Structures are given as structure tokens and as C-alpha cells.
Amino acid sequence: MNKKVAVIGAGNVGASVAQYMAETNLADVVMIDIIEGFPQGKALDLTQAGPIRNYNCMITGSNDYADIKDADMVIMTAGLPRKPGMSREDLLAANAGIVKTAGENIKKYAPNSFVIVVSNPLDIMTYHMWKTTGFPKNRVCGQAGVLDSTRFRAFVAMECGVAMREVQAMVLGGHGDTMVPVPRYTTVAGIPISELIDAKRIEEISERTRFGGGEIVKLLKKGSAFYAPAAATVEMARSILCDEKRVVPCSCQLDGEYGIKDIYIGVPAILGANGVEKIFDLKLSDKEQADLKASAEKYKGVLKEIGY
């Protein structure tokens, strides 16, 4: 029997997640959305691509949360997208309500599932999902650093003129303007980028990474990024569903690591059959540590706005 993954939200991110999940034959997918006919139509369209794209997973759509029953994993993508000039935090109140409704239904219908949160502001919504479901912290995480480090990898590869898969990168902190790219842990085929790119250019690439999502929002004018966020999410899902034990930066609940407690924030972690199996507490420079703590403190302040 195939694994079952529920995707909450059938918009651009959710539909792309369903597509990538199907194309890797990871699991059967059910997409949930409040708009009648919308998830059903997208599911049918994706199903009809199966014979050409060589996947055999079942993809269905529904407007009823009951259809996530017994899902092995739930991927939360629903929420309002950013518009030009908006920060992820501007979405706070509206998306908090959406996440709360989803979390209550996940707890009711898929109580043993793993949850990956994509909705913005991501680290805040991941914490909110964790609180709403009451799940153990290893079963709730957020897609943050995977996307941010992927953007960093792409920019470094473009700068060096190398294959993107040759670049490995590390981005810590919140999924927003306070994220902390860590060039010391960023390499091209094992070579530190400091040996390939000068310091000023590295800082420019780091800055572009911090505002990578905003750059796309500004270009699109309506909506926000969805291809890369969906790809990053499926990377996390595959590591958990297939017990790959990939080490990826993602939004995890900290309990003293990096001197930070009771907050979800991007850190490197092993993702496997037990969800978040281990968090790596890296040795950071004084500036990196200060930047990470500043990112955490910002999000602790934002959490107060939704009652935590």
C-alpha cells in the first residue's frame, strides 16, 4: 500500500507539491481546498499527466478535511500569498486562522501524521501548528532553510559557473529578512566558497538570498514563488517518508540548542522515519550567533501577537 500524503491548499505551491510528489512516486496525494471543484480539477489534471510522466500514484481532490483520514504526512501550504511590498509577517493574522483550522482537523483525522508547514510567516505558523495539534515536536517542522539554502546554492552556482548540484549551502535562522546565510559552511564540490568568490561578492549573494522570495514577489507582481518552495518541501517529505536521514536546514523547535528555547527556527537537522531525529548545534562565530539569536528574538515578539 502506498503512503498517503495530504496537501492542505491547492494553489500554486500545493499543486506543485502534488506534482513533484507524484513524479517521484512517493505517495498517493489528496489535496484539500475550500474552493469547491478547485482541488478536484487540479487532481484530475495531474492524474491525466501520469501516463506521460510515468507515475502511478493516485491524486485526488476534496473540500472535506475528513478525506485526510489516516494520512502519513500532511503538508500545510494554504494561506494568503504575499503581494509586492508585503513582508511575510504582514500575513500573520489571516494565516494564523487558516493554520488553526487545519491543525484542529489534522489532530482529528490524521493524529499520527508528520506535518510540514509551508504557510507564511513560516516559523510562526510552524509553532502555531505545533501548539494547535499538540503533536510531539519531532513530528512538526517547517520548510525554511531548505528553500533558503537552495536559493543560496543557485546564486553561488550562477556566480561560479558550475553545476548547481555541486554546491552545498547552509542558511540558518527565521524564514525571512533575518535569515543567516553561513558562507563558512557553503562549498562547491567541497571547496569553501571563500576560495572562489571574494568577500564583498559573497556578502552581496548572501543579501540576495535574504530577500530572494521578495525579489520574486516583486517580479511577479501578483502571487509569490512556488516552484522552488514546492521542490524544497518534497525534498523534506522524501527524507521522512523514505527514512533517508538527510541533513537539511529546516524550521525546528529548539530546546536550548544555540542558546535558544521555545521557538521554531531554521537549523540543520536529520530528517528520517521519526521526523526530526537530531538537531546539529553548530559552532558559530560571535556574529553568526548574535544574528541567529536576533532572528529568534524577532519571532518571539511576533508570537505574542497571536497569543503565545
The C-alpha cell that represents 293 in the structure block: 539569536
Structural Rg of the chain based on CA atoms: 18
> What DSSP element (H or E) covers 155?
helix 145-160
- Which residues are CB-neighbours of 39 under 8 A, at least 6 positions away? 10, 31, 32, 33, 61, 62, 63
Alpha helix (H) residue ranges in 112-144: 122-133
Q: Say how far apart CA 262 and CA 303 lie, in whole Å.
A: 11
Q: In what order do the strands lie in the sheet with 261-272?
A: 59-62, 28-32, 4-8, 73-76, 114-117, 140-142, 246-255, 261-272, 275-279
Is the Cα torsion angle 78, 229, 202, 194 positive or negative in sign?
Answer: positive
Please classify residue 163 by burial: count the beta carbons closer than 10 Å to its beta carbon, then call 0-12 exposed, 13-18 middle and 19+ buried: exposed
The angle formed by the CA atoms of residues 106, 173 and 295, to the nearest 5 degrees, is 105
Q: Is 175 a catalytic residue?
A: yes
Which of 4, 175, 210, 298 is flagged as catalytic? Answer: 175
Q: Say how far apart CA 112 and CA 70 lie, in whole Å.
A: 7
> What DSSP element (H or E) covers 152?
helix 145-160
Are the C-beta atoms of 167 and 256 separated by less than 8 Å? Answer: no
Are the C-beta atoms of 259 and 269 separated by less than 8 Å? Answer: no
Q: Say how far apart CA 70 and CA 118 lie, in whole Å.
A: 21
Question: What are the φ/ψ torsions at residue 147 (nearest 5 degrees)?
Answer: -65, -45
The C-alpha cell that represents 137 in the structure block: 515536536
Catalytic center residues: 175
